[in-house]
Amino acid sequence: MLKKYVLQIMTFFLVAVAAGQSNMPYSAYSNLIKDIGTEGVYVHYNTNLLFTGEYLHFKLYALSKKNQSLSKTSKIAYVELLDGDGERKIIQKVKLVDGMGQGDIFVPTNLDSGHYTFVAYTAYMKNWPSDTFFADDVVVLNPYTNDQKVFWESKGKDSLDDGLMNLNKEATKTLSKDLGLALDKSQYGKREKVRLKVETKPNNSGIYSISVRKLSKELTYGDRISPVDYTKNYKLVDLDEASNDYLPDLRGEMVAGRLSSINGLQTMNKKVVFSLPGNQYSFKMVTTDSEGKFRFSLHSENLDTESIFQVWGVDKDQYSVEVASVPELNLRRSPSKHFVLNKGMKKLIEERSTHNQIENAYFNSKPDTVKLNNNFIPIYGNNFIEYNLDEYTRFPTFRETLVEIVDNAWIASNNEGEENIFVRDFEATNMDVGYNPLIIVDGILLQDHEDLIDYDVKRVETIRLARNQYVVGGQIFQGVFDVKTFDSDFAENYQKTYLNKISLLRPKPQKKYFKQNYGSKTFGTIPDFRQQLLWEPNLELGEPTTTLEFYTSDLEGEFEIVIEGFTARMQPVKVVTKFKVQ
């Protein structure tokens, strides 16, 4: 049954890409949606009142009502920060792995003070009304501007009316049955270790996220949406209300665009080359449809945003490429409560702003780290010979280097009198091999071989030679000639009129968040004004008891521990406890 389901979805996807999404029959969409069912996204995030210069940390859980599990359908989600008029201020792509994703948003110092909406969704969820998205109220306070009039007077229910006493009673009640939290004591000193025991009842193992953050009775914006609240509302989504307009990102990140001609040349059946330069480059060649459109999936651990598009073949300088952006949501909602500034907050705001500036100044001493995947396999696989030029006698020109060092490759003139690089086939007995090789420099396809022949060879680190024939995007190449420079910076200085350099919206690399440890004396003289003592987006609770440890900072006051997530049986979980630091 599972194989049939996957096959049906993949067959539909391939047909949709070939025919163009808008041309697919209504019945085909309807059947696909019935097979997949609805999809939802719940977000655990660390705070709903942020200063500019702070981070909003988040963990995404994609939900499948039909399967009663985390959704494995969409591989990409989106999070956005919208202002009071529904205008997009920040958008991020988030990679979903096994139905989960994580990330953070740095609130820039040029963002105005105001009420914002934090939204999360998948492309597939756009088949239903936008009120099915995850959407919660967030306040941003910019202490570096005098324009705070948006917070001067109440326009309804005040944030202070909620205070800190109205924790989601239903969520707390539900979760006390599933998880138990026990601190080794209720009050700690500065820079002291905190030990937290999390007790998991039988059959309630699951995936969670934990936030430990300073509370403020004055600078507060009330409760956030709980997983219990969201799950209740999500279960009400009607499958039959689907608009049948949006395909799920089944195969991961998708890039779509359109080719246009400067002089009215045909844009149909043109080959478009995509390059994402760098050490772990990504390379694609796709063919446009009858409307000059193209679409491809991007499976790359290289999450750089700067890409290069070019048209393959003659008249390549007569075309331009445009990449489709994520459409605006057209979602405007009024905040459920109004945040109000008063004079008593002035000192608190000044202190927190100063602490943030000090923390940011010492960021390099306690940085987050990026999780890298070094399992890069080039498009030609592992069947190649690599020449590290520093292991040979260096020659002054690329031409001499090719003659003296690299076997089975040479330079000769083509029929147009242009100098080309050629690669000998394993079966070839003479110089005539029939096809040109694929020339790649730092991930960029070179159509003009002379640009490499005239390149400063002292900047070249390695040359990889693959001698088999390869078919890329329907184009046959005799071998691959892959060049890597020392700084992987060829793209920065390579200028051609037919190159379209385009910034893409890409998922951000997954981080391992900094965890303070005062077990050593390394941080003894470094100030510690952390508001966020711990953020761990991947907390697995499989044992009856799990012990977590973290350290307090130099800040006094009350701190809150929040664990959210879902059990293995997809029961929503939220549990809260507090402690003091003096």
Angle formed at CA 65 by CA 61 and CA 68, multiple of 5 degrees: 80
State the Cα–Cα distance between residues 567 and 68, nearest whole angstrom.
11
Q: What are phi and psi of 175, to 5 degrees?
A: -80, -25
E strand spans, 365-495: 369-370, 385-388, 409-413, 419-423, 438-441, 444-445, 460-472, 475-485
Q: Is the pLDDT of residue 24 over 70?
A: no
Contact between 93 and 102 (Cβ < 8 Å): no
| Beta carbons within 8 Å of 265's beta carbon, 6+ residues apart | 315, 318, 319
Kind of pairing between the strands at 438-441 and 475-485: parallel
pLDDT the model gives residue 426: 83
Residue type, 466: A
pLDDT for residue 2: 42
How far apart CA 524 and CA 5 sit, in angstroms, is 58
Question: In this model, does residue 450 exceed pLDDT 70?
Answer: yes
Residue, of 515 and 8, whose pLDDT is higher: 515
Q: Is 375 helix (H, G, I), strand (E, B) or coil?
A: coil
The mean pLDDT value for 479-491 works out to 95
Whether the CB-CB separation of 273 and 285 falls below 8 Å is answered with yes
Give the pLDDT confidence of 298-314 residue by residue, as tens digits.
Answer: 888 788 899 999 999 99
pLDDT of residue 7: 47
- Residue 158's pLDDT band, with cuts at 50, 70 and 90, is low
pLDDT in tens, 99-131: 999 999 999 999 999 999 999 999 999 999 888
Q: Residue 385: phi, psi to the nearest 5? A: -110, 130
Residues 6 or more apart whose CB falls under 8 angstroms from that of 437 comprise: 409, 421, 422, 423, 477, 478, 479, 480, 481
3-state secondary structure of 68: coil
Q: Which of 77-81, 370-374, 554-558, 569-573 has the lowest mean pLDDT?
A: 370-374
Structural domains in the chain, sorted by start: 1-36 (no CATH), 37-242+329-372+512-581 (2.60.40.1930), 385-487 (2.170.130)
Q: Out of 171-185, 352-366, 563-577, which region has the weakest mean confidence (pLDDT)? A: 171-185
Burial class (CB in 10 A: 0-12, 13-18, 19+), 371: exposed
- Angstrom distance (rounded) from CA 460 to CA 398: 9
pLDDT at 167: 39
Tokens 């403020």 belong to residue: 216
pTM: 0.88
The overall average pLDDT reported for the chain is 88
3-state SS string over 383-418?
CCEEEEHHHCCCCCCHHHHHHHCCCCEEEEECCCCC
Please give the average per-residue pLDDT across 443-472, as a whole number. Answer: 96
Of the two residues 382 and 90, the one the predictor is more confident about is 90
Contact, 503 vs 302, CB < 8 A?
no
Predicted confidence band of residue 171 (pLDDT cuts 50, 70, 90): very low
Mean pLDDT of 76-101: 96
- Helix (H) / strand (E) element for 539: namely strand 532-541
- Predicted confidence at residue 6, as pLDDT, reads 47
pLDDT number for residue 203? 73
